[in-house]
Structure 1
Amino acid sequence: MSAIRALRQVSLVSTRALAVRSAPRSLSRAAMPVFAVRAAPACAARAFSLSARTLGEGASDVALSQKLTEEMQYEKEAATEAEPDFLRSFKAQGVWAIEDVAGNDEVALTRKFGNESIRMMFSIADINQSETQFENEEETDGSDEEPNHSYPIRCSLSVTKSAANGALTVDVICQEGTFVVENISFYKDAQVGTELTAEADWRRRGLYIGPQFDTLDVSVQEEFEKFLQERGINEALASFVPEYAEYKEQKVRSLVILLLELFLIGFTLQEYVSWLQNVKTFVEA
């Protein structure tokens, strides 16, 4: 048995995993092929017997060429998978820009508001940690019902102004379609308040970060919440953040497993598609 065929039988996930949002999260699910063979159209059986001689000497040449073409098309489409509706709708609003580097846990949402630059950052690591916690709780509970968990995601908001020095930073928890403010800090040096370097983090540790939000006077809390709402830190954004975090987490998980599978058989995705094209050209010659 070839290495590729053997790997197909034990593969955990394939390139199709990006499109299967409802599939179980656990990597111990039933084996799925890396490059699955799809069923031929009904007309293929009639067509290849009539035109086989125009492409080659074998009666199976047309059917094989068609299969190779279908496989190439599927892999190319999977590599440029269409964005889900919720993401297209969010981008169409034109309010927030998404900064998302493939392979990184962190996501940044940025926007302009008057002379202010606003950035909100969150990480998909919170989803992984919450999932592990909930899975452990389910094993302990022994219940067969699937609980409806809403994972809390920590977000860090920073506001800077072109006409003023310093940076306002706000720590919030995003859960169940709302933001809960935990802490508000002000840094006279905007770089200290916003940079994600080890040096900036070290300098922040020695500074007063401000009071806990819930210890402020209620009227101050209410006005600050209005301040955030006006800048788009609202229920709509609180619904988008966990949905996008889930979407990114699925893509990262599927990409890591796919790259591992390709590595084990000595392929890259580009090499596989190129191989398909070369074989197809030879068959059709």
Structure 2
Amino acid sequence: MSAVRALRQLTGSSMRLACVSVAARAAPVVARSAWCAAAPASRAFSMTARRFGSGTSDVAVSQKLQEELQYEQEVAAQEAEEGEPTFLKDFKEAGNWNIVESSGKEEVTLTRQFGNETITLTFSASDVQSMESEEPAMEEEGAEEEEAPSPHSYPIRVSMSTTKQGAPGTLSVDMVCQDGHFVVDNIAYYRDTKLGADLTAEADWARRALYIGPQFDSLDIGLQEEFEKYLQERGVNEALALFIPEYAEYKEQKEYLSWLTDVKNFVDA
């Protein structure tokens, strides 16, 4: 969920209570005028039933979906006029990573070659939504702080897999990206290259039975530091940690617009 959408929802909820009494008084007048204009009433009902199925709430749901869809389309049109976001343009121009994502899917994949290594990073746009409910509370607690929090400070889980040409196995790194930093949770090695790199549910289930190594923070400090240098050398650095949350929000916003369109079309059918 974008910051604009979250702010709009907070504003709408605060104004809703103030508008209840006005809406309650206005509703009968609108209803009476609509009743007089529509003749006969049975004809209007039959048309609605044919268009929106048998549900009595279909029309109201469709109207609300249309309101949200129209707002999001206006925002998207403004952004389209401005062109590709600067953060995304700069990332592509750097040429270090390739972005792989499909419409309708929440996962985003970044790939690159490093010597004889093929490196793949995967994260999900749904992580943006999972933190929305916590943001207002976090803002209230930190209201007295002078420095404002980052607009993309929510954690994004990232999975990295590395394979080598001519060498068996896959090195897998699970980490969290937040506030311009990567925090490593675990580093695992899978002797079966396909098993380690496969993202299917079956492969994930099979990996659960394997030993994946200790928690990263339980390793010797010196070893942790060398692994961090190992990752930075492969482009898993601060610049990437700043990009991933921004792109996750960008991706989630696009999918939300498609979701509104699909759901409205289904309700209206």
Report if TM-score (shorter chain) is over 0.5.
yes
> Shift of the alpha carbon at 1:100?
0.7
Equivalent position to 2:192, from 189, 192, 195:
189
Length-normalised TM-score, structure 1: 0.64
For residues 231-273 of structure 1, the C-alpha deviation after alignment (integer angstroms, 9 at most, x for no partner) is 000000000000000111111112211333455556xxxxxxx
Aligned amino acid, residue 257 of structure 2: S
> Shift of the alpha carbon at 1:13?
2.8
Matched, 1:12 2:68: yes
For residues 200-237 of structure 1, the C-alpha deviation after alignment (integer angstroms, 9 at most, x for no partner) is 11210111010111111111111111100000000000
Cα RMSD of the aligned pairs, angstroms, is 3.2
Show the counterpart of 1:48: none
- What is the percentage of aligned positions where both structures have the same residue? 50
Q: Answer whether contact 1:18 1:250 (CA < 8 A) is retained.
A: no
CA change 1:182–1:20 in 2 (3 A) is farther
Equivalent position to 1:211, from 209, 214, 220:
214
CA change 1:175–1:17 in 2 (3 A) is same
Alpha-carbon distance between aligned partners in 1 of 2:176 and 2:223, rounded to the nearest angstrom: 19
Tell me whether 9-18 or 242-251 shows the greater mean CA deviation: 9-18
Aligned amino acid, residue 120 of structure 1: L
Show the counterpart of 2:119: 118
The answer for unaligned runs of 5 or more in structure 1 is 22-76, 267-285
Q: Answer whether contact 1:116 1:160 (CA < 8 A) is retained.
A: yes
Show the counterpart of 1:35: none
Q: Answer whether contact 1:112 1:118 (CA < 8 A) is retained.
A: yes
Alpha-carbon distance between aligned partners in 2 of 1:138 and 1:177, rounded to the nearest angstrom: 18
Alpha-carbon distance between aligned partners in 2 of 1:19 and 1:239, rounded to the nearest angstrom: 25
In the TM superposition, what are the counterparts of 1:199-278 in structure 2 within 5 Å? Answer: 199-264=202-267
> Shift of the alpha carbon at 1:168?
0.3
Higher helix share: 2
Matched, 1:176 2:179: yes
> Shift of the alpha carbon at 1:133?
3.3
CA change 1:20–1:176 in 2 (3 A) is farther
Alpha-carbon distance between aligned partners in 2 of 1:210 and 1:259, rounded to the nearest angstrom: 43
> Shift of the alpha carbon at 1:163?
2.0
Alpha-carbon distance between aligned partners in 1 of 2:138 and 2:224, rounded to the nearest angstrom: 37
CA change 1:139–1:237 in 2 (3 A) is closer
Show the counterpart of 1:96: 97
CA change 1:258–1:82 in 2 (3 A) is farther
Secondary structure of the corresponding residue to residue 69 of structure 2: coil
Q: Answer whether contact 1:166 1:189 (CA < 8 A) is retained.
A: yes
> Shift of the alpha carbon at 1:199?
2.0
Alpha-carbon distance between aligned partners in 2 of 1:160 and 1:99, rounded to the nearest angstrom: 18
Q: Answer whether contact 1:103 1:252 (CA < 8 A) is retained.
A: yes
Alpha-carbon distance between aligned partners in 1 of 2:212 and 2:161, rounded to the nearest angstrom: 13
CA change 1:19–1:176 in 2 (3 A) is farther
Alpha-carbon distance between aligned partners in 1 of 2:158 and 2:78, rounded to the nearest angstrom: 27
Length-normalised TM-score, structure 2: 0.68
In the TM superposition, what are the counterparts of 1:109-148 in structure 2 within 5 Å? Answer: 109-135=110-136, 137=137, 148=149
Aligned amino acid, residue 109 of structure 1: L
Aligned amino acid, residue 13 of structure 1: L
Aligned amino acid, residue 177 of structure 2: C
Aligned amino acid, residue 200 of structure 2: T
Secondary structure of the corresponding residue to residue 260 of structure 1: helix
